[in-house]
Structure 1
Amino acid sequence: MKKLLLGFLVVLLALSTFTQETAKAADDLTGHAYEDEIRELMELGVIKGYDDGTIRPNREVTRAEFAKMVVQSFEFGADAESASVENAGFTAAATAAATMDFKDVFPEKWYYNDIATAVDAGIIKGYPNNIFKPNELINREQMATMVSRALTAKGIVINVSETPALNFTDTSTIRNEHKDDVRVLSHLEIITGNKDNTFRPKDSSERWMVALVMLRARDEVFPPQNLEFQASAVSADKTTVVKHFDTFAQAKDYAQNNAKVQAVERSNQILWMKQGIASTNAFTEIYPTDSLKAANGTFRPYVPANTELKFLDATATTVKVELAGEVGYVSSKVVRLIPELMQKGQSYYEASGSNMVHKIFNHATGSYASTGVIGKAPKEFVSGMKYYSWDGATFTNASGAKVVESHQYFNMLPLQSATSYTAAELDKYLQDKFPYYNQTLNGKKWTTSPLVGTGKFFKEMEKTYKINALYLMSHAIHESGWGVSKIAQDKFNLFGYGAVDGDAYNRAYSYATFRESIEDAATRINKGYQVPTGGFYNGSVLGNKGIGMNVRYASDAFWGEKIAGHMFRADAHLGNKDLNKHELGYTTTAPLNFRKDASTNFASIYTLKTAGVPVIINNETKASNGALWYEVASEDKAFTKAYVHGSYIKMLPLAQ
């Protein structure tokens, strides 16, 4: 059974029973560190306030108050069980007689019946000479003994010899007749020591301290019901159940209003948390609504296992997340919620000289991997600092404050644009930067770069299909491992077409030559991803899971970023002819019509049904009415240019 663990001495609380008045909504308990625990006992009728409406959580406790508290907490009554002779040290008959003989306990006193019940149950004995001292402050070792005897009377019997020895630095100051009881309660984690590892057996205790212990002791006697949902405290390596609930809504409401609770669980699975990260534990589809259905054919983006998602909210069965700036919903069965206190790491970006590197954290293995340099570092980046982003463009620092919005040029470049590089220059890059010289992979020692000579094929497809040759080359490098993969070598397949998970090699398509593979890829990409009428079109950019090819081309959330990184590194090696060659903007609304001139005199030549699509801005122009229009590179490849009203375009902030 999980218990709350505190680093200070927890001792028992005896609350006043002078009145039936209950706590008010705002009283001297409101805002107290242990308000929730005391109010829980108030709901059980164990704790009551004073005549003036106060609760006085810091007041010290008397022996009479404590006796009544124990009787009510453990629900002793007229038929209360008696402790055994062996454990209590006296018989029920003897204790009943002793009740009437206490010289300082009188029938007209408010505590008379409770003391009689406690004596009858074998919980208290009193002092020599038949006195009880009801108004004396009870000390900690006495309280431990009363609770230990109460547990015994309720059938919770612990063999002291099987419990750890006490290790308090002042254990020797505990009276011998109390040591076993302190040891039992310490073993059950009902009491713990002070921060300095002392017990201070002769000290008194305040009411709030006892509330904590009474709840723990009640858990031993009345274990929490097997309710479906739990509100839990979170530490670095575990969760600790604080309270059980019938419904998720009740547990979430309790957690939201309790500073000591950070999560809601069911069967040890975290369903909701105040703050943290979601990480997929399986192939995961992301739906537009919490019904987990795609209405009207809306596409469901998908990601592989171990993908970080921004946690927004949750129900008992779904989790609301953000991926690449887009909000969606996933089944709680396919994600793991990791509260902030339990995080062992998080993916981040950092500057490497003037460039930027992405370090991706795997929450399953606890390790980092890097995709290498992926582009220019924003000028706001400081060397040695970590920056965080859910879309690769809006960056925050460790405290969550926004630092900058800065997009990577090649990741947001519309790919109907042509590269500045010739076939020979592309081959030069393939020759110069081949990473496997004199290494043996897939049964072959590589002394030459297998893709050298394909530059002319990439340029040919650029001209024929209006697809950037630098991109095609980078895509082929990424998917084929620079042409050395077994599929590339045995089947001339540079783009992995047909290579499904689980049977990649056998299902991969075969081609007669690299050129055939490149042309098949160019044809498929052009038709499906690069024109507004394509079945998978979300903008003709590499992008991410929010925009571009990456939405629907690959499950890897950073597929677009990785290929853009290849383009950036190739461009840097070959002379930086392409970086920031074009001015880029993006659309702000959808659907949005693009026209043949700067007017609405003619029907649109194409319509974009998705907002946030990057466009190449060629020129600005003014319509006859003075309105600003932009001439852009056409997304419909039947046209070279198109016009769009300036109200619907914003400039894309790029890393410079």
Structure 2
Amino acid sequence: MIKKITTLVIAIILMLTVVMPSSSYANDIKGHQMVNELTHWANLGVILPDSKGNYNPNRAVTRGEFAAYITRAFNLPASDKYQFSDLKVGDPLTFEIQAAAGSGILGGYPDGTFRPHEKITRQHMAAMLYKALRYLNVPLNSAPLTFNDNNKISKQFHEAVATSVYYNIIRGSHEKKGVFFNPQGSATIAHAAAFLYRTHVVTQQYGQAVPENNTPQPTPPPVETNNNSYYVGTISGSNITKQPTVYVTYEQAEAAYQAANSINLLFQGDKIIKMNSGIASAADVAANTVTIYGNKDFTNALTYVVEGSELKYFGSNDKYAIVQAGDTKGYAKLSEITLIPTSLIKGRDYYYVANGMLSHKLYDHIKQAFIGEYVMGEAPSFMAAGVHYYGTDGVHFYNANDQLVGQHYQYFQFASLRQPTNYTAEELDYMIHTILEERRTLASRYANILTESRLLGLGQFLKAMEQEHRVNALFILATAIHESDYGMSTHALQKNNIFGIRVFDANEAAGSTYATPNDSVLAFINQYVNKNYAPQSGGYAKGAVPGNKTTGMNVHYASDPFWGSKIAGHMYRLDIRFGRKDHKQGRLAMVLNNGEPVNARMEPSTSSPIAFTYKAKVIGESGLFGYPVAIVEETIGSDGYIWYKVYSDNNPPANFVWIRSDLVKPL
């Protein structure tokens, strides 16, 4: 029989190509009633151990696990014919469920879900095995149902259960009152192993060859996948080919990957863990954010990004991926990263020029869809309309061939928030009223914005806070607009929280409550900006600017890698519309400490008292992202050096400090 011969050939190939250590299984298999069936499938990698090496034979099996067992046991081919809404993209279990669905062995619920984590019922198991027998060309004979609970077996499952009874695959349980099938009951992993083993035996005995006229073109058997093993393969266009050789260790697979020029992918199970070219993205994880570390041990956190974010890819192994967010290059746990080969990229973030302004369009790699766009600021002269540009830091821009086209610093993204705005309180209130009035016509949720928005009348208070606490009022307003949806978010309306304070990625329903919006402003200034982010004494001090994922508040304040450029975009759009009073009113520069601390002094002399010290920081792959400052004036000090007077990050003791010019790079 063709099916039998194919299975035998696969088994022989695997025996010749797999380098296997001596098998030893956890004590929870030894001595079990179904030890033979469990050991059989464990040897073939159909049933896998947990992280402690246990197989948990007495634990209830889930729908997703049983579907995966069937796919592995019968070498079902990959398929993307069915897409269930509750399966994670890129998850190996997703591929196995889709393979079983594509082979006609399972289906989902009417709402489009599969519910992989639900315990599978005995009648659903019978249905899957029935369809597996049909797929494997076993005659679908049936036996009369004589269970005491026949009436509890759903009508649509009668035929499947009857076939299972005929072939003695799923048996009833003998109780005092008779034999019961228990159709709604769950089954254990050991039961699943036994049912699969009996199905396998039936297939070997009764499986029939597929008629030649039904298979016009023979196809090679799919590679059996063990999620704890390694494989190499190739990608050509959108076609991925995984080689059948199984490698027990990563080192074996990596050696094969490096040895052949034709090999460009390395897998662990079905997950791509190494590739020749492509991009990375932050995977769908429980915390909703992915951390980038400065070391391979994952103890030195540099920054973090929200899931779905695009990352530049440099390389990887079975433990970590080397990626870049902003201009920060570091290590991310491989379990939290998805690798996307170049030919499989469906979309990505890009920049473009329209009406002289630079816009940024964003792509979510989990949703696989564009999720919005915004204006960053003025477009640099080296960019042309109608062309897409790429980059991770908002400063360095590349073409489609990954060639650097130019670099450009958006003013408000790197302008010191210590420099006050030139707008008055009255002008800020006029801004607020005008933009709210325009919002009212854009969507129904803004219908009552002129009476309900928590931004109304904030101008006077923002200007007073700017003077008292030295935080730019336009920056505060732009942040409130961004974080509160123009003062109309649920947190703003119900909690007067216009900055999303303590609203976390993993729990967006949380959030602090304030008596008034003014209290929210004070909390933003005193508990965040002036406590941890702007002054050099702050725990998250990376520069007193909105910034990106390498410098400024954005490094630690927000998981959105483009939070800083979005805030800057709000400031730019407000400014160019209401007077152009702030744009390019300061001289931007970076304190480049090159790994060493830099002293800011009270006067332009090395003998002057130190106001504070710029701590050593990661300055990025380009070496350009030190501490952003705004130069007010320059002079020649008594030591013969040029000194720059800049706005002080700290507050107090002085509004301005002096830094020697050889430690500062004007932008």
Which TM-score band applies after superposition, normalised by the shorter structure? 0.5 to 0.7
1:608 aligned onto 2:614 = yes
CA contact (8 A) 2:225 2:269 kept: no
- Counterpart in the other structure of 1:399: 401
> Which whole-Å deviations, capped at 9, do the CAs of 1:599-639 have from their partners, x for residues lacking one?
21134211111351111111222223422222222222221
Tell me the TM-score normalized by structure 2: 0.63
Match of 1:635 among 649, 652, 666: 649
- Counterpart in the other structure of 1:626: 640
- Structure 2 distance, partners of 1:354, 1:380, is 12
- Structure 1 distance, partners of 2:588, 2:227, is 58
> Which whole-Å deviations, capped at 9, do the CAs of 1:336-394 have from their partners, x for residues lacking one?
10011111111111111210111111122221133321111111001000101111100
- Structure 2 distance, partners of 1:376, 1:595, is 34
1:248 aligned onto 2:269 = no
- Structure 2 distance, partners of 1:225, 1:403, is 44
- Structure 2 distance, partners of 1:249, 1:532, is 45
- Structure 1 distance, partners of 2:228, 2:568, is 51
Q: Trace 1:461-480 onto structure 2 (pairs within 5 A).
A: 461-480=465-484
Please state whether the residue corresponding to 1:433 is helix, strand or coil.
helix
- Counterpart in the other structure of 1:232: 233
Over 3 Å counting, the alpha-carbon distance change for 1:305 and 1:224 in structure 2 is closer
Please state whether the residue corresponding to 1:424 is helix, strand or coil.
helix
- Counterpart in the other structure of 1:509: 512
CA contact (8 A) 1:163 1:187 kept: no
Deviation (angstroms), 1:502: 5.6
* Sequence identity percentage: 32
- Counterpart in the other structure of 1:269: 271
- Counterpart in the other structure of 1:644: 659
Q: Trace 1:414-563 onto structure 2 (pairs within 5 A).
A: 414-434=416-436, 435-438=438-441, 445-448=448-451, 450=453, 451-501=455-505, 503-505=507-509, 507-524=510-527, 525-563=529-567
Alignment-mate amino acid for residue 230 of structure 1? Y
Match of 1:188 among 201, 205, 219: 219
- Counterpart in the other structure of 1:289: 295
- Structure 2 distance, partners of 1:489, 1:160, is 66
Over 3 Å counting, the alpha-carbon distance change for 1:231 and 1:456 in structure 2 is same
- Structure 2 distance, partners of 1:256, 1:340, is 19
371-380 or 250-259, which deviates more: 250-259
Match of 1:580 among 584, 590, 598: 584
Please state whether the residue corresponding to 1:187 is helix, strand or coil.
coil
Deviation (angstroms), 1:227: 8.3
Alignment-mate amino acid for residue 161 of structure 1? P
Deviation (angstroms), 1:547: 0.9
Alignment-mate amino acid for residue 599 of structure 1? S
CA contact (8 A) 2:361 2:372 kept: yes
Deviation (angstroms), 1:477: 0.7
- Counterpart in the other structure of 2:199: none
618-627 or 550-559, which deviates more: 618-627
CA contact (8 A) 1:598 1:644 kept: yes
Give the number of the structure whose alpha-carbon radius of gyration is greater: 1
- Structure 1 distance, partners of 2:345, 2:231, is 21
- Counterpart in the other structure of 1:381: 383
Please state whether the residue corresponding to 2:367 is helix, strand or coil.
coil
- Counterpart in the other structure of 1:372: 374
Deviation (angstroms), 1:533: 0.5
Over 3 Å counting, the alpha-carbon distance change for 1:252 and 1:634 in structure 2 is same
Over 3 Å counting, the alpha-carbon distance change for 1:376 and 1:245 in structure 2 is same
> Which whole-Å deviations, capped at 9, do the CAs of 1:5-44 have from their partners, x for residues lacking one?
xxxxxxxxxxxxxxxxxxxxxxxxxxxxxxxxxxxxxxxx
- Structure 1 distance, partners of 2:581, 2:640, is 35
- Structure 2 distance, partners of 1:344, 1:161, is 39
Unaligned 5+ segments in structure 2 are 1-206, 620-625
Over 3 Å counting, the alpha-carbon distance change for 1:437 and 1:448 in structure 2 is farther
- Structure 1 distance, partners of 2:215, 2:500, is 65
- Structure 1 distance, partners of 2:227, 2:638, is 74
- Structure 2 distance, partners of 1:244, 1:591, is 51
How many positions carry a matched residue from both structures? 443
CA contact (8 A) 1:441 1:484 kept: no
Match of 1:591 among 581, 594, 597: 597
- Counterpart in the other structure of 1:408: 410
- Structure 1 distance, partners of 2:256, 2:443, is 60
Please state whether the residue corresponding to 1:245 is helix, strand or coil.
coil
- Structure 2 distance, partners of 1:227, 1:456, is 62
- Counterpart in the other structure of 1:62: none
- Structure 1 distance, partners of 2:273, 2:219, is 29
Deviation (angstroms), 1:161: 1.8
Unaligned 5+ segments in structure 1 are 1-156, 167-185, 190-215
Q: Trace 1:36-435 onto structure 2 (pairs within 5 A).
A: 159=209, 161-162=211-212, 164=214, 166=216, 186-189=217-220, 228-242=229-243, 243-281=245-283, 282=285, 283-294=289-300, 299-434=301-436, 435=438
- Structure 1 distance, partners of 2:311, 2:569, is 22
- Structure 2 distance, partners of 1:404, 1:613, is 21
- Structure 2 distance, partners of 1:312, 1:480, is 36
- Structure 2 distance, partners of 1:392, 1:533, is 27
Alignment-mate amino acid for residue 254 of structure 1? A
282-291 or 594-603, which deviates more: 594-603
Deviation (angstroms), 1:326: 1.0
- Structure 1 distance, partners of 2:366, 2:495, is 34
Over 3 Å counting, the alpha-carbon distance change for 1:362 and 1:224 in structure 2 is closer
Deviation (angstroms), 1:300: 4.1
Over 3 Å counting, the alpha-carbon distance change for 1:632 and 1:502 in structure 2 is closer
Deviation (angstroms), 1:584: 0.7
> Which whole-Å deviations, capped at 9, do the CAs of 1:173-194 have from their partners, x for residues lacking one?
xxxxxxxxxxxxx5035xxxxx
CA contact (8 A) 1:311 1:321 kept: yes
- Structure 2 distance, partners of 1:442, 1:393, is 35
Tell me the TM-score normalized by structure 1: 0.64
> Which whole-Å deviations, capped at 9, do the CAs of 1:185-204 have from their partners, x for residues lacking one?
x5035xxxxxxxxxxxxxxx
Deviation (angstroms), 1:259: 3.2
- Structure 2 distance, partners of 1:541, 1:570, is 17
CA contact (8 A) 1:439 1:446 kept: no
388-397 or 445-454, which deviates more: 445-454
Please state whether the residue corresponding to 2:414 is helix, strand or coil.
coil
Deviation (angstroms), 1:486: 2.0
> Which whole-Å deviations, capped at 9, do the CAs of 1:138-186 have from their partners, x for residues lacking one?
xxxxxxxxxxxxxxxxxxx9946246465xxxxxxxxxxxxxxxxxxx5
